[in-house]
Amino acid sequence: MSHPPKLALHTKTMSKRQASEALDELVAGVNSPASKKSRFDDYEKSLTPASTNGDGANNANRETEDGADEDEDDSEQDEVEEVEEKAPIRQAAPTEGYDDLYLDTIDRNVLDFDFEKLCSISLSNINVYACLVCGKYFQGRGPKSHAYFHSLEEDHHVYINMSTQKVYVLPEGYEVTSKSLDDIKYVSDPRYSRQEVAEFDRKPRTSRTLLGKEYTPGFVGMNNIKENDYLNVIVQALSHVSPLRNYFLLENLSSSTELVKRTSILFRKIWNPRAFKSHVSPHELLQEIALRSNKRFTLTIQSDPVEFLSWYLNNLHLGLGGSKTKPHSSPIQHIFQGKLKVESQAITAKADTLDRLRFEEAAEVKVDVTRFLLLTLDLPATPLFQDEQERNIIPQVPLTNILSKYNGITAQELNAQRKRYRLMHPLPPFLVFHIKRFSKNKFVSERNPTIVTFDARNLDMSPYVEPDPAFAGPGEPIWYDLVANVVHEAVRLKEDVADSAVGEEKKTWKVQLRDKSTDAWVVCQDLFVDKIQHELLYLGESYLQIWERRKPAGKGK
Q: Are 33 and 60 in contact (CB under 8 A)?
A: no
CB 550 within 8 A of CB 481: yes
Q: How confident is the model at residue 19 (pLDDT cuts 50, 70, 90)?
A: very low
Nearest-angstrom CA–CA distance, 263 and 307: 18
- In this predicted model, what pLDDT tens digit does every residue of 387-442 receive, in sequence order? 555 566 788 999 999 999 999 998 888 877 889 999 999 999 999 999 999 988 77
Pair 104, 176: CB distance under 8 Å: no
Residues 460-486: what's their mean pLDDT? 90
Evaluate if residue 468 carries a pLDDT over 90.
Answer: no
- pLDDT for 304 equals 95
Higher pLDDT, 48 or 239: 239
Query: How large is the average pLDDT for residues 517-526?
Result: 94
pLDDT higher than threshold 70 for residue 252: yes
Rounded Cα distance between 519 and 223, Å, is 26
CA distance 56 to 451: 92
pLDDT of residue 37: 42
From CA 179, how far away is CA 177, in angstroms rounded?
6
Task: Tell whether the model's pLDDT for residue 554 goes beyond 70.
Answer: no
If one compares 469 and 230, the residue with the highest pLDDT of the two is: 230
pLDDT one-digit tens code per residue, 195-227: 999 999 999 999 999 999 999 999 999 999 999
Q: Rounded distance, CA 118 to CA 129, Å?
A: 9
What is the pLDDT at residue 510? 95
pLDDT-based confidence at residue 79 (cuts at 50, 70, 90): very low
User: Is residue 27 over pLDDT 60?
Assistant: no
CA distance 264 to 172: 34
- How do beta strands 366-372 and 375-378 pair? unpaired
Q: What's the pLDDT tens digit per position in 105-114? A: 999 999 989 8
| Cβ 420 vs Cβ 410: under 8 Å | yes
pLDDT tens digit string along 263-286? 999 999 999 999 999 999 999 999
| Residues forming beta bridges with residue 221, ordered by sequence position | 279
| CB-side neighbour CA atoms (13 Å) of 554 | 0
Q: What pLDDT shows up at residue 490?
A: 86
Rounded Cα distance between 239 and 266, Å, is 9
Q: In sequence order, which residues have a C-beta less than 8 Å from that of residue 336 and are 6 or more positions away?
A: 313, 373, 374, 428, 430, 431, 432
Task: Look at residues 493, 491, 487 and name the one whose alpha carbon lies nearest to residue 525.
Answer: 487
Beta partners for residue 236, in sequence order: none
Q: Which comes out higher in pLDDT, residue 493 or 4?
A: 493
3-state secondary structure 56-111: HHHHHHHHHHHCHHHHHHHHHHHHHHHHHHCCCCCCCCCCCCCCCCCHHHCCHHHC
Which pLDDT score is estimated for 534? 85
Please give the Cα distance from 278 to 525 (Å, whole number): 14
Instruction: Please write the tens of the pLDDT for every residue from 38-47.
Output: 443 444 444 4
For 530, how many CA atoms within 13 A lie in the half-sphere containing its CB? 5
Cα(133)–Cα(156) distance, rounded to whole angstroms? 6
Question: Hey, which residues does 159 pair with through a beta bridge?
Answer: 131, 168
Does the pLDDT at position 3 exceed 60?
A: no
Pairing of strands 158-161, 128-131: antiparallel
Residue 532, helix vs strand vs coil: strand
- In whole angstroms, give the CA distance from residue 21 to residue 457: 107
Check whether 478 has a pLDDT greater than 50: yes
pLDDT at 169 over 50: yes
340 forms beta bridges with 370, 423
pLDDT of residue 101: 81
Q: What is the pLDDT of residues 146-156, one digit of tens each?
A: 999 999 999 99
Report all structural domains of the chain as residue ranges with CATH numbers, in order of start. Answer: 33-87 (no CATH), 103-187 (3.30.40.10), 196-312 (3.90.70.10), 324-549 (3.90.70.10)
Of 52 and 301, which is predicted with more confidence? 301
Per DSSP, the three-state class of 375 is strand
More confident site: 326 or 86: 326
Band of residue 446 on the pLDDT scale cut at 50, 70, 90: confident
Is the pLDDT confidence value at 474 over 90? Answer: no
C-alpha 401, offset from chain centre: 39
pLDDT for 86:
52
pLDDT(82) > 90: no
Q: How far apart are the first and last CA of the chain?
A: 123
Task: Please tell me the predicted confidence (pLDDT) of residue 505.
Answer: 77
| Residue 216 CB neighbours (<10 A) | 20
Burial class (CB in 10 A: 0-12, 13-18, 19+), 32: exposed
Q: Say which amino acid occupies 168.
A: Y
Q: What tens digit of pLDDT does each residue of 325-344 get?
A: 898 899 999 999 999 999 99
Q: Which helix (H) or strand (E) holds 151?
A: helix 146-154
pLDDT digits (tens, 9 = 90+) for 240-249: 999 999 999 9
DSSP 8-state secondary structure symbol assigned to residue 185: H
Amino acid present at 235? V
